[in-house]
Structure 1
């Protein structure tokens, strides 16, 4: 069976610590997963990077490759940015590509790679008008934003609720069905 390739990109929000389980869940759905992290996300998972690379069969990336260096990942069939912090969502919408994760997803829009994002922000952050504007901009660019009803619902600062990973993986499956599905 031919596997679909999913780029899973995570920001430094608590659900990033679920990466191993999410990778396993995606693999069970027929995805070949490549994990990319923001610099702080990579720092948070520093002790697990080697195990995550072994789990995916691909290096975990958080930096751009050098010009002319070979690609170490297969071409993406889809991209999921989750968890996506306030900073990641806003930087992406503005096209601020100094970080690897944001650069790849910004380019992914132009390449028409099916892409979804599920924020992980608290209710205080979403009061900032830049966030709603960024969500709307990403939607207008063709990104499936899993936010609000049927997606991530902001929690109060310091409140802990389960992150709806299943919704994110369901969205990816609906955007790029498994071969033969």
Structure 2
């Protein structure tokens, strides 16, 4: 049983996800017990790192729903952080399309009133799609702290991303701020 507050860190398939081990270490330094969840594509991208990430967190990395009747392998979340959140993840979540584990947990997390912070990672072409701004607004209306725009993630032009400059510290700072523990 854990005594540290539990942070569910959920990542989508955007280049900053390759730095998730450093983010986990930073979160652990801040006192979090981290459980890592990934979208199926992000899990495929990090497939070779998954055993190391499981050792680092002390928990299985999850990217799929458990079978009915199976026990949950993670402690209950005190806070959920969704970063990087892709165009697909943000829109599916706002629309309640829970085809994958990450989106299903965060959609349910809203109803359970678990504090949630999200930071997109999308390029400037994606944000021109009308659905994206509506999805961000809807998530905010549901109580999700979305770090997008000033004080959060600012999109780059397509092909000009700077994954090493993704402001991970903002996500962890916000998780600490919204934590009930």
- State if a TM-score over 0.5 links the two structures: yes
Q: What is residue 153 of structure 1 aligned with on the other side?
A: 154
After TM superposition, the runs of 4+ consecutive aligned structure 1 residues lying more than 4 A away are none
Instruction: Choose the corresponding residue for 2:168, options 156, 165, 170.
Output: 165
1:64 aligns with 2:65: yes
Whole-Å Cα distance in 2 between the matches of residues 100 and 121 of structure 1? Answer: 21
| Structure 1 vs Structure 2 CA RMSD | 1.1
SS of equivalent to 2:67: coil
1:111-122 to 2 correspondence within 5 Å?
111-122=112-123
- Show structure 2 runs of 5+ residues with no match: none
The one-character-per-residue Cα deviations of 1:45-83 (angstroms, maximum 9, x if unpaired) are: 000000000000000000000011000000000000000
Q: Secondary structure in 2 aligned to 1:43?
A: helix
| Counterparts of 1:15 and 1:60, CA distance in 2 | 17
Residue 105 of structure 1 corresponds to 106
Aligned length: 178
1:15 corresponds in structure 2 to 16
- What is the alpha-carbon distance in structure 1 between the residues aligned to residue 81 and residue 67 of structure 2? 24
1:6-43 Cα distance to aligned partner (Å, 9 max, x none): 00000000000011000000000000000000000000
Gaps of 5+ in 1: none
Deviation at 1:176, TM superposition (A): 1.2
Q: Deviations over 1:66-109 (max 9, x none)?
A: 01100000000000000000000000000000100000000000
TM-score normalised by length of structure 2 = 0.96
With normalisation by structure 1, the TM-score equals: 0.96
Could you list the per-position Cα deviations for residues 145-175 of structure 1 after superposition, in whole angstroms to 9, with x for gaps in the alignment? 0000000000111113210001110000111
What does residue range 32-181 of structure 1 map to in structure 2 within 5 Å?
A: 32-161=33-162, 162-176=165-179
Between the aligned partners of 2:178 and 2:39, the Cα distance in structure 1 is 24
User: Would the aligned equivalents of 2:123 and 2:161 in 1 still touch at CA under 8 Å?
Assistant: no
